[in-house]
Amino acid sequence: MQTTQDVESSPHRNRFFLFFICCLAYLSIGVHFSMRSNVAGDLKDVFHGVDPLHSAQMVGSVLGVPFLGYAITLFLISPLIDAIGMGLLMRLSGILISMGTVIVITAEHIAPDSVYGIIYGGMLLVGLGWGLVDTNTNPLVVGLYPKDKTHRLNVIHAWWPAGIVLGGLAGLALGYIGIQWEYKLIIALVPSVLLVVLCFMVKFPLTERAAAGISFGDMFKELFKKPMFWVWFFCIWFTATSELAPGQWVDMALTRTVGMRGIWLLIYISSLMFVMRHFAGTVVHKLSPVGLLWISCLLGAAGLWWLSVASGPVTALLAATLWGIGVCYMWPTMLATVNERYPRSGALGMGLMGTGATLAIYLFLPVMGRVFDSTKVSEAGGKEAFALLSGERLNEVLAQASQVSFRVVAILPAALLIVFAVIWLYDRKYGVKPEELDLIDSQESTNK
């Protein structure tokens, strides 16, 4: 067993490099997320030839299925990361993201008659890779920075929107010069391949839970001894959907209503989030994590509703700013808050939170698609009438469907205002503070 000095110093040996790898991993996810949103309209055109009445729902399904893969790996692998090894899992994440991307790129050429199924399968592989990133990076960072969890988690999650900005700008540039949608996705391969290479160059530590000598069984017991954990688990279904579902839908849905490419709104919002997440520590110090979440939900709900009625670039930009500020801190602050309150739940607790978040997005994106499809048919006066629409009237109908599909999301953060208000008041009354673990065991590095 290592001495106390070794326990304190061992995470610092590769801490900067490991933190950089975490940032790169989220950059990789962000680039892919943005490129997928950028080509959503192209996918709708592809699926229009398969089923014109349900093409938007099909787009919602293939954009949502990565979050199913995300949830699967978070749920199954999170409790086992110390046994399997973070290094192996991180390398595998980059491999799966790369493989899935190649399958999507080649889908129309491999099996044009089964293009929906092939793209769906490729997106699922991408999601499995995304899930392995989240499975490893969050426990890794809270172990490396046990006294600065909220700030550090916000910083690594800032590289998700950074990837969205990079991917969004690259996608627009490639589209401007006439590059086909399949080849736009090649950009997403670059950071994922680099991630695999770098993970071979560093040793990974044990998680904070393992370093504190908390057993595998105690990690499970913690969740059943603290039923309040499950309140947080269900809350993240709402916060995650409020942030990520509209982000995947923004280019296809809002382009017709605001007089500009919706992807520009996503790029702008992501730039805002990248900057703001680097100041999470200062904001949390002034408000408390739960207070920050309450204000986030208030602004997020208002911004989403405003986006649903925006009719021009100026109002869309203002609404997007409000939404972006609202959802900026939601995901990393939820993870950090739960880990501070239930640190003995370890990677299992963080994995379950991520599972709930990604399942919510997987389930809700097709709902947005169904709302879009049903609204466009209803506004047109029926399926036969919609099939005959063209020109300006078609754009009017699709614009109305876009607005309604965004409006349904605004309900989700609004519903959490009461929940977070009660928790915030309780914390202020009873002085609830984060729980810290004593690292009684080693955080020795592993090549796994």
CA distance 444 to 345: 20
CA distance 293 to 334: 8
For residue 9, pLDDT beyond 70: no
Work out whether the CA dihedral 71, 77, 82, 84 comes out positive or negative: negative
- DSSP track, 97-148: HHHHHHHHHHHHHH-GGGHHHHHHHHHHHHHHHHHHHHHHHHHHHHHH-TT-
Contacts of 45 (CB under 8 A, 6+ apart): none
For residue 206, pLDDT beyond 50: yes
pLDDT digits 0-9 by tens, 50-69: 677 777 778 878 887 888 88
Place of tokens 């519903």: 415
The pTM for the full model equals 0.76
For residue 8, pLDDT beyond 50: no
Asked if 57 and 122 touch (Cβ cutoff 8 Å), the reply is no
Give me the pLDDT at residue 438, please.
61
For residue 7, pLDDT beyond 50: no
Which two structure tokens, joined as six digits, stand for 305?
């509703």
Asked if 68 and 362 touch (Cβ cutoff 8 Å), the reply is yes
Asked if 206 and 446 touch (Cβ cutoff 8 Å), the reply is yes
CA distance 275 to 162: 9
pLDDT digits 0-9 by tens, 396-441: 888 788 778 878 888 999 999 999 999 999 888 887 776 666 654 4
Asked if 272 and 325 touch (Cβ cutoff 8 Å), the reply is yes
Element (H, E) at 75: helix 55-77
In CATH, the number for domain 8-430 is 1.20.1250.20
Name the amino acid, one letter, at 81. I
CA distance 197 to 192: 9
Q: What is the number of alpha carbons within 13 Å of residue 290 lying toward its C-beta?
A: 22
Asked if 347 and 316 touch (Cβ cutoff 8 Å), the reply is no
Give me the pLDDT at residue 13, please.
66
Name the amino acid, one letter, at 342. Y
CA distance 78 to 58: 30
pLDDT digits 0-9 by tens, 240-275: 988 877 766 666 666 666 667 767 877 888 898 899
First to last CA, the chain: 19
CA distance 212 to 95: 31
Give the chain's mean pLDDT. 83
For residue 443, pLDDT beyond 60: no
Which candidate, 201, 153, 218, 154, places its Cα nearest to that of 441? 218
- Radius of gyration of the chain from its Cα atoms, rounded to whole angstroms: 22
What torsion, rounded to 10 degrees, do the Cα atoms 208, 210, 211, 212 define? 90
pLDDT digits 0-9 by tens, 288-312: 889 999 999 999 999 989 888 877 7
